[in-house]
Chains A and B, each alone.
Chain A
Amino acid sequence: MIKISNEGPKFVVGEVTITEANLSNSDEFKAELVKLLDEHKKIVILDLEELKYVDSAFLGALVSALKYALSLKLDIVLVGLRTDIRDLIKLIRLDKVFKIYNYPEEAQFAVNKF
């Protein structure tokens, strides 16, 4: 569900390989994200380019994982969002808690300056 595509001293880039993220796979998605944080102890840059469809259960899992990341003094950064997913995140104001970039390279540059 999350494939590592790049790694630096401060970050790991995880590509989300599913196209639909909803109630049926949100628990598994959260578990993979938590495992990634635990194993790498780095900021996770989550590339959502493949994702075409999300629901509130997926967004809840994402927020829950972000809380866990911050408790480890890490972070989850979002990249590659389709317009409608970005609009949904803005609709419920989650753009106030997630750092969002257009491309992984842009996020890597920003993370290296954290």
Chain B
Amino acid sequence: MQNSAEKLAFEFDNSAGKLVSSLQYMLDYISGIIPPQADADDIMFRSKVIITELLTNGIKHAGNGHTLFDIEPYPDSMVIRKTDNGQPLYLINSRQHSTEQFDDNKKLISADMLNSLYAIWESDNHIRFASEEASFDDFLPVEQVMEHFGILIITRSSDEFTYTYDKGAHSNIFRVQIIF
């Protein structure tokens, strides 16, 4: 069942100069659909970091075309969807061309002493992301800490984060669910 609010559709031109205004536009919409019983500060923080990273991903990978964002409200959650026609996520090709074994369709895609990030294939063109914290609690040697955080930030901030490559439409669909 959908929330009574209209869904938002927004086209981003993948220019870095419009990143912050585009973020603000979508956050303004989200602030109006959060139900009163939900933790609005937490949802706004998570929405901000997720949309920031999806916009950055659009600038980096979606090329000269446009990226479509839609935000769909439900009574107990909302779904943020980003669709573009750039190159498929490297993980799709890496699996199709890899000879390595994929245990339980789950692959460790990055790990350091702080965090581990996994891709879980739910079908050939559909991936769900998951992350785990490492067990270190003290200050750590920084040399092995990774420097790419985009997918990790979205995975940590969302209740579900998936990627689908639509072969027919040649489109990349990132879908993020936040439960209120």
Contacts and interface: CB of A to CB of B under 8 A. Distances in A.
The answer on A and B forming one complex is yes
Interface of A: 20, 22-24, 53, 55-57, 59-61, 63-64, 66-67, 70, 84, 87-88, 91-94, 96-97, 99
Given A55-B53, A96-B139, 6 more contacts: A20-B20, A24-B19, A84-B45, A92-B115, A93-B133, A94-B145
A91 B142 CA distance: 17
Contacts, number: 79
Binding site of A, secondary structure by majority: helix, strand, loop or mixed?
helix
B59 A56 contact: no
Given A22-B16, A92-B149, A92-B152, A97 B139 contact: yes
A84 B23 CA distance: 15
Contacts of B100: none
Nearest to B151: A56
Interface in B28-55: 45, 48-49, 52-53
B140 interface: yes
A56 B20 contact: no
Contacts of B153: 56, 88, 91-92
Given A56-B153, A88-B49, A97-B114, A23 B60 contact: yes
A63 to B, nearest CB: 5
Question: Which of A60, A61, A91, A92 counts the most chain B CB atoms within 10 A?
Answer: A92
A96 B138 contact: yes
A56 B114 contact: no
Contacts of A84: 45, 48-49
A93 B156 CA distance: 11
A59 B153 CA distance: 11
A94 B114 contact: yes
Given A88-B49, A91-B156, A92-B115, A60 B142 contact: no
B149 A56 contact: yes
